């Protein structure tokens, strides 16, 4: 019994191995081209933004981007009343990150408004969680006990509005992240 002869691809035809390699190269070129086009598009959008930063030390910075498909306005601060959530007594607002007002205007007068703020306190996570549990008990809150990362979340969903309180321990501090999201054709500014 002999060893059967090896068959090779007929002249002019690629073997399966080479065909797969060529297909991977083509897919890579397509993905690379798509990434470059997205990057160029984002650079164009960022380059066409209107408005300029104001304030000092980053406070009050903002910008507006106008496009035919709508507009995006971002402010680096937030009005406490617009959050629609209680502020923990003694909580200190973290000004360097975590606070913003975002207004996205889409076609057909659809809007998305987001207010976020971040606070910190030396009080324990349990104390802060007890405060928010009591403050939000009448709001129809969905409470999520601490997860693996130690984050406790309170969610309030009412129609086109969501309000979220996320609590977590960070070193000796408790971080309090507040957010309010309003969707739809109408809503507060």
pLDDT tens string 71-116: 777 877 777 788 889 999 989 888 766 677 778 787 777 788 888 8
**pLDDT recorded at residue 53:** 40
Both tokens of 3, joined, read: 């060893």
**pLDDT recorded at residue 10:** 56
Query: Please, what is the Cα angle at 116 between 132 and 154, to 5 degrees?
Result: 30
Both tokens of 35, joined, read: 């990434």
Place of tokens 């007068």: 109
Q: Does the global pTM surpass 0.95?
A: no
Query: Please, what is the Cα angle at 97 between 95 and 101, to 5 degrees?
Result: 85
**pLDDT recorded at residue 11:** 56
Kindly list the structural domains of the chain, giving each domain's residue range(s) and its CATH number in brackets, ordered by start. 62-184 (3.30.310)
Cα dihedral value 41, 42, 43, 46, nearest 10: 130
pLDDT < 70 positions in the chain: 1-18, 39, 41-60, 96-98, 139-140, 143-148, 185-189
Antiparallel, parallel or unpaired: β 152-158 and 161-170: antiparallel
Q: Residue 119 in contact with residue 176, Cβ under 8 Å?
A: yes
**pLDDT recorded at residue 131:** 92
**pLDDT recorded at residue 127:** 93
């Amino acid at each position: 019994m002999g060893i059967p002869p090896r068959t090779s691809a007929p002249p002019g035809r690629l073997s399966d191995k080479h065909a797969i390699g060529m297909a991977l190269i083509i897919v890579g070129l397509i993905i690379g081209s798509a990434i470059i086009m997205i990057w160029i598009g984002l650079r164009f959008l960022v380059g066409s933004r209107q408005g300029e930063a104001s304030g000092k030390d980053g406070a009050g910075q903002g910008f507006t981007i106008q496009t035919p498909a709508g507009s995006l306005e971002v402010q680096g601060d937030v009005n406490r009343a617009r959050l629609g959530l209680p502020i923990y007594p003694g909580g200190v607002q973290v000004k360097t990150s975590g606070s913003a007002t975002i207004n996205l205007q889409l076609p057909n007068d659809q809007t998305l408004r987001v207010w976020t703020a971040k606070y910190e306190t030396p009080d324990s996570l349990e104390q802060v969680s007890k405060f928010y549990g009591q403050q939000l008990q009448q709001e129809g809150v969905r409470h999520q006990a601490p997860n693996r990362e130690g984050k406790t979340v309170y969610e309030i969903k009412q129609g086109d509005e969501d309000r979220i309180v996320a609590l977590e321990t960070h070193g000796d501090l408790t971080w309090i992240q507040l957010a309010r999201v309003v969707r739809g054709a109408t809503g507060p500014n």
